[in-house]
Structure 1
Amino acid sequence: MSEENQEPEKSEESTKTKFTFKCTRVDTCCMGRGPIPITFWDLELWAKNGVVANFMPYLDIYQKPDGGIDLILKPLPPPPKEEEEKEKTDKDPFEAVPIEALLDVKCPMYNVNDKKCLIYENRPLSCRTYPLEFDGKNYIVVDADCPGLGEEGMSKEDLIEMRSTAKNMHFELTRMRIALPVLNQVVSSNFMKMMMKQQMDAMSKMSDDDKGKLDEIFKKQEQEPEHDHNHD
């Protein structure tokens, strides 16, 4: 092959944008991550390190706009600016709110005053690969404004590791999204069965007199609509 034929190939290669990244540990990303998906990998890590209890208050099931569900670190709503706004801001941020509206909500594990992650050694897989993601075919930069992009100091080994982490995140998230609907349904079903059993146990321990009073209450409630109709 002649040099003339090789030259365009070199020129094309030189125009490609080189991905370089180094986390600067600033609050830009952590203050606006929104819901952070959690995987089995994360749960296994936390169980191994004995820190699951630290995450429990912030774990929640989030139903995405596309109908799927994720186990997530639930973002904390911003503090009310005025007293009259307190009732509004204290509402569950996930209630009928699309995920796009939560992208500017801070991670609950980020300390604003100290400007640091409280769980850095146990941070979720999603945080370890951010802002690089893998969609099953291609690597994608999901946050072009991340301060760490373009920072020098990323070795070839670092890049390989980050790509591997992104692939692992894709695999683990897919695994979680397959299992979570089934687990959620089983847990909900078992919870309902437990509640019904508790009610049946409570009924079995009631005295005949108490059962009679309860029956009277039910009969009265059933008769009230008909009574009101006849009265009118």
Structure 2
Amino acid sequence: MSEEENQNQNSDEKETSKEINQEEKEEKKSRFTFKCTRCDACCKERGPIPITLWDLELWARNGVLANFLPYLEVYTRPNGTVDLILKPLLSEKEEKTEESPEEALKKTPLEDLLNEKCPLYNKEQEKCLVYENRPLSCRTYPLDYDGTHFSIVDVDCPGVGQEGMTKEELKEMRDTAKQMNYELTRIRIALPVLNQIISRNVMMDLMRQNMEAMSKMSDEDRQKLEEIFKGAQEEQ
């Protein structure tokens, strides 16, 4: 091999080595690592937290389901999907002192609460009040799985990029994200069906109660009611 060919080969090897090193750097940079710093940012400005059947089953087993009931609500997202959520709390400056938190929740549109804190996070104590029973969504945050790919839903989370995550911890977090995707799909299928069944049963119960009430009315009361209905129709 001539000296010129030898130099060209060395140059190619160096270039290849540089490319490999660059790829390794990029891979290291893009590799997901996470360590929760307990900054609680995801609790203070989280918005609606999706709840799954897994969460309900966990709370039922641990005897704490009743504690969550005041904060559960069905929410139709802008994309049309229906979720069961933990409805966020109003900011303290917007809360009315004469109303209970439950009443404030009922009167406030969810769209106005998208950047509010989780109802089960205590700002004064700076801690989650239900950490051992926290929802599946909180356990996988900020990692998300859409059924095909993983993604980070909050790139500004201080824990993203923190070193020290073991392979076992990464696997566990990925498995939790996959489970969240499965459970979210499951409850999104179940909720509309259950809603239809419950609504139908409620309507049937109301009709039955009305019929029973009518059957117990005297002829005089029934005649008065018919006159009221007739008068209302004439006004229209």
The match for 1:196 is 207
The match for 2:109 is 93
Equivalent AA in structure 1 for residue 129 of structure 2: L
Tell me by how many angstroms 1:223 deviates: 2.2
Partner residue of 2:40 out of 18, 27, 45: 27
Unmatched 5+ stretches in structure 2: 1-11
Tell me by how many angstroms 1:60 deviates: 0.6
Paired residues in the alignment total 216
The match for 1:228 is none
Q: Does structure 2 conserve the Cα–Cα contact (< 8 Å) formed by 1:80 and 1:89?
A: no
**CA distance in structure 1 between the partners assigned to 2:87 and 2:201 by the alignment:** 24
Q: Deviations over 1:170-204 (max 9, x none)?
A: 11111111121111111111111112112222222
Partner residue of 1:134 out of 138, 145, 152: 145
The match for 2:115 is 104
Matches within 5 A, 1:138-157: 138-157=149-168
Q: Would the alpha carbon gap of residues 53 and 137 (structure 1) be closer, same or farther in structure 2, given more than 3 Å must change?
A: same
Unmatched 5+ stretches in structure 1: 226-232
TM-score w.r.t. structure 2 length?
0.83
Equivalent AA in structure 1 for residue 197 of structure 2: V
**CA distance in structure 2 between the partners assigned to 1:161 and 1:90 by the alignment:** 37
**CA distance in structure 1 between the partners assigned to 2:153 and 2:38 by the alignment:** 17
Tell me by how many angstroms 1:13 deviates: 2.6
| Structure 1 counterpart SS, 2:116 | coil
Q: Does structure 1 conserve the Cα–Cα contact (< 8 Å) formed by 2:87 and 2:105?
A: no
Tell me by how many angstroms 1:79 deviates: 3.1
**Stretch of structure 1 that moved more, 59-68 or 15-24:** 15-24
The match for 1:42 is 55
| Structure 1 counterpart SS, 2:227 | helix
Sequence identity, in percent? 60
The match for 2:75 is 62
Q: Would the alpha carbon gap of residues 44 and 205 (structure 1) be closer, same or farther in structure 2, given more than 3 Å must change?
A: same
**CA distance in structure 2 between the partners assigned to 1:193 and 1:221 by the alignment:** 25
| Structure 2 counterpart SS, 1:15 | helix
Q: Greater CA radius of gyration, 1 or 2?
A: 2
Q: Does structure 1 conserve the Cα–Cα contact (< 8 Å) formed by 2:54 and 2:136?
A: yes
Q: Deviations over 1:140-177 (max 9, x none)?
A: 01001112222233211101100000011011111111
Q: Does structure 2 conserve the Cα–Cα contact (< 8 Å) formed by 1:22 and 1:154?
A: yes
Tell me by how many angstroms 1:112 deviates: 1.0
Q: Would the alpha carbon gap of residues 62 and 90 (structure 1) be closer, same or farther in structure 2, given more than 3 Å must change?
A: closer
The match for 1:183 is 194
Equivalent AA in structure 2 for residue 149 of structure 1: V
Tell me by how many angstroms 1:27 deviates: 2.5
The match for 2:9 is none
Q: Does structure 2 conserve the Cα–Cα contact (< 8 Å) formed by 1:129 and 1:162?
A: yes
Question: Do residues 15 (structure 1) and 15 (structure 2) align?
Answer: no
The match for 2:64 is 51
**CA distance in structure 1 between the partners assigned to 2:83 and 2:95 by the alignment:** 33
Tell me by how many angstroms 1:82 deviates: 9.4
**CA distance in structure 2 between the partners assigned to 1:137 and 1:30 by the alignment:** 27
Q: CA RMSD in A?
A: 2.5
The match for 1:229 is none
**CA distance in structure 2 between the partners assigned to 1:121 and 1:201 by the alignment:** 48
Q: Deviations over 1:104-126 (max 9, x none)?
A: 11111111111111111111100
